[in-house]
Amino acid sequence: MPSCRWSLTLIVWSIVGTVVACSQPDVIPALESQSSGTGVRLQAVSAVSDQIVWVGGVGGTFARTVDGGHTWVAGIVPDADSLQFRDVHGVDAMTAYLLSAGPGTQSRIYKTTDGGKGWTLQFVNQQPHAFFDCMGFWDATTGVAFSDAVDGKMLIMRTVDGEHWEPLPADRLPTPLPGEGGFAASGTCLVTFGDSLGWIGTGAAPIARVLQTLNRGATWSAVTTPMPAGEMAGITSVSFRSARVGMAVGGLIGQPDDQSDNVAVTADGGTTWTLGARPTFPGAAYGTSYVPGAMTPTVVTVGPGGASYSLNDGATWSVLDTLDYWGIGFAQRVGWLVGPAGRITKVLF
């Protein structure tokens, strides 16, 4: 594994004429396979803390741990076994939201306040051509959910009370490009940061764009990126480690051997984007997440081809794993990667 960029730092105290050498140890992530309690494909992770984690998957499946993954309890939301929960947002050990992705009424939002024992159906999409991809929250009750464009208009739903969802007026949203939407791969095509910032990565259009809000989802603007674009290409996931430094990943969906550029980075809050180095695994990246609390800025990216991590905001990458992953989520230096056949891998940096 590579050393951190500043693994050896010399501090010269000119007043006393002494030189002190202090070193940072190599960053060697630890991986631990965990038993999820289910055999279905898991796609989304919400790490509330290093102990409380929620995941979502196909077949109406969710799972929760309250002990850092030592034990997981999986379940199926009643009357939802035909749905694919491709995004999840955990508030605490008892409260979480699930978003199912699919055309028409298959796109839904559920909420639990009793640890998954019962679920309330909050929203059912009634537009046949809508397809919700991801959601994000600033707090326990304020969030947004993003859909593919419908009839030449962007579609973003917003809640301010954690109970009711309403569409934003079209004049608060950018005009969509032909075919523009999102990819419901890992539930991270939409990310929030701080009190009011948020970003959405788009695809399936002539240009891959990033939508940005500065006011908790009330209005949105769009900027272009150099990411691959087209009917089955674009941005699948976005992550920010500060209000200014962030990353978007994606690529050519459904081409497992593709080696084209699939990482873009920003240092100005998403106003401009430049290409970074691609991860170590082939094919598209489905999810990415910065690691809060890491000793040096660290970001992890996953896809069906494996998992990689970078210590320099995507300038170079190292192999983390070679297994198939779809979703990712971190709380401080601890994260979880999820994928097919109920796969859950805990990662510690």
Cα 276 from Cα 17, distance rounded (Å): 42
- The whole-number pLDDT of residue 26 equals 73
Q: What is the pLDDT of residues 159-215, one digit of tens each?
A: 999 999 999 999 999 999 999 999 999 999 999 999 999 999 999 999 999 999 999
Half-sphere exposure of 271 (CA within 13 A, CB side): 6
Tokens of 88: 């999840």
**pTM of the predicted structure, to 2 decimals:** 0.92
Mean pLDDT of 215-228: 98
- Which of 346, 221, 342, 230 has the alpha carbon at shortest distance from 284? 230
3-17, 95-109, 129-143: segment of lowest average pLDDT: 3-17
Are the CB atoms for 127 and 167 separated by under 8 Å?
A: no
Say what percent of the chain tops pLDDT 70. Answer: 93
If pLDDT is split at 50, 70 and 90, which confidence band does 258 have?
Answer: very high
- Residue 8 confidence (pLDDT) above 70: no
Amino acid identity of 233? Answer: A
In the block, residue with structure tokens 């951190």 = 4
What is the rounded distance in angstroms from the CA atom of residue 101 to the CA atom of residue 151? 19
In the DSSP assignment, the letter for residue 177 is P
Structural domains present in the chain? 29-348 (2.130.10.10)
Rounded Cα–Cα distance for residues 290 and 245 (Å):
10
The pLDDT confidence band at residue 268, using thresholds 50, 70 and 90, is very high
CA distance 242 to 62: 30
Judge whether 222 and 208 are in contact, CB under 8 Å: no
Q: Is the pLDDT of residue 16 over 90?
A: no
